[in-house]
Amino acid sequence: MFYYNYGDLPYLLDMKIDEHLFRAITQYWNPAYSCFTFEKVDLVPTVEEYLVL
């Protein structure tokens, strides 16, 4: 029943996260456009990458 409701969520809770990498990534995240912005360059997933998600 739990797996049916939450799927693989417990596995995500056990993942190790690189704190420095996470902080660096969040500095470049642009929530208004849902993309990463590096100076004048926007980095977004391609249509093919969206299909995999």
Residue 23 lies in a domain: yes
- The answer to whether residue 8 scores a pLDDT higher than 70 is yes
pLDDT digits (tens, 9 = 90+) for 15-43: 898 999 999 889 999 888 888 898 888 88
Range of the domain at 43: 15-52
Q: Per the structure, how many domains does the chain have?
A: 1
Distance in angstroms (rounded) separating the CA atoms of residues 12 and 29: 21
pTM as predicted: 0.51
Residue 29 lies in a domain: yes
